[in-house]
Each structure stands twice: as structure tokens, then as C-alpha cells.
Amino acid sequence: MGILTIMLISVGLCFDTLAVSISTGLSHDKISFREGVRVALILAFFQGLMPFIGWYAGIQVEQYVKEYDHWVAFSLLGFLGVKMIIAGIRVKEQEVISRKLSFLYISGMGIATSIDALAVGITFGLIEVNIYQTVCIIGAVTFLSSMLGILVGKKAGNKMGSKMEVIGGAILFLIGLKILLEHLLSGTS
């Protein structure tokens, strides 16, 4: 898997985190830079950890699904992409709830926003990917998007949260389609 594809997957995965970070910035408009870094690091940690766990699970089952791994990858990424698109379209104006940014609370947000990354990680176990490079890129992109989201939340408002999820879903679906088409067109279906 090429670096551009990994970057696109990273961007697609981080939209949930971006939306959460915007909400965090809105509800904690006096959040300090240091606290923002703490939030972003925790979210990035989980966003990087989940694909690694998924990758490990994927390599355990790879030998059993090798003949149709591209269909599995397309199905998982396509399902997640469509799910994110639908969720982004259905979201109405969300109430912002101000909560203390405890480690437990931020970790909960990190786990919730990285479940999709776990499923994407399973596809990594089925295709050739440098998992260490991939999770580092996913973590870095998530960290940057989280920092940006907190800043945007502090400055702007909650107008783009659901649109971000739609864009992220479209990116994941298109990457799944790309994997499927590469295999079908190369004659290894």
C-alpha cells in the first residue's frame, strides 16, 4: 500500500476525531494549548492503536481468506464509509455538553472515535502494508486534525462536524473500491 493511500485512509479515519475535537473546543472554549495537546495525544494514541489491533487480528485470519481478501477489504471499508456518510447526514444540531476533560473521559472519546480504525486495521492484515509506518501516520494525522479541531471549535462553531463525517465516509468507501478494483483488474480475483 502506497504512502498516498495511507495518508488518505488517515484523513478518512480522523474525521470522527476532528468532529469530537471541534465539539471539545466549543464546550471548553478556555482550553489551554497544553490541555489541547493532551487531548490530541490521547485521541491519536487510540486512533493508532486500533488499526494495529485490527491488523494483528487480520493476519491471524489471512490464510483463510486470501482468495477473497479484496472483497473483505472492500466490504469493511465500504460498510464503514456508508455508515459514516449516513451518520453525517442524519446528525442534527448537536447539543454541546461541557464536561471535565479527565483522562477517562478523553480515553472514552478516543475509543469511540477509533472503532472504525479497528475494522480498517483488519483489512491491513489482509493486504501488504507496513503497519508500523501506517499507525504512525494515522496517529500523526489524527493528532494534527485534533489540534486543528480544538482550535476551530474555540474560534468558529459546530457547523462543519457532520459534513466532516460524510467526507471521511466517502474517502473510506473510495479506498475500499480502489482495493477491490486493483485486484479485479489485475486478474487476481
Asked whether residue 159 carries a pLDDT value surpassing 60, the answer given is no
- Give residue limits of the domains in the chain: 3-92+100-185
Mind listing the pLDDT tens digit for each residue in 81-98? 787 678 777 765 444 444
Mean pLDDT, range 20-41, rounded to an integer:
83
CA distance 164 to 33: 23
Asked whether residue 179 carries a pLDDT value surpassing 80, the answer given is no
Mean pLDDT, range 107-114, rounded to an integer:
80
Please state at what angle helix 3-27 crosses helix 33-65, rounded to 10 degrees. 140
Asked whether residue 24 carries a pLDDT value surpassing 50, the answer given is yes
pLDDT band for position 146 (50/70/90)? Answer: very high
Mean pLDDT of the chain: 78
Q: Does 69 or 25 have the greater pLDDT score?
A: 25
The confidence score (pLDDT) of residue 156 equals 66
Q: Does 32 or 20 have the greater pLDDT score?
A: 32
Cα 92 to Cα 24, 87, 129, 158: the distances in Å are: 17, 10, 37, 11
Ranked by mean pLDDT, which of 31-35, 67-71, 110-114, 175-179 comes out on top? 31-35
Mean pLDDT, range 42-66, rounded to an integer:
85
The confidence score (pLDDT) of residue 169 equals 67
The confidence score (pLDDT) of residue 97 equals 44
Helices and strands of the chain, counted as H and E runs:
7, 0
Here the contacts of 28-31 (C-beta below 8 Å, separation 24 or greater) are 28/98, 28/101, 29/153, 29/154, 31/101, 31/150, 31/154
Nearest alpha-carbon partner for 24 in 11, 37, 13, 12: 37
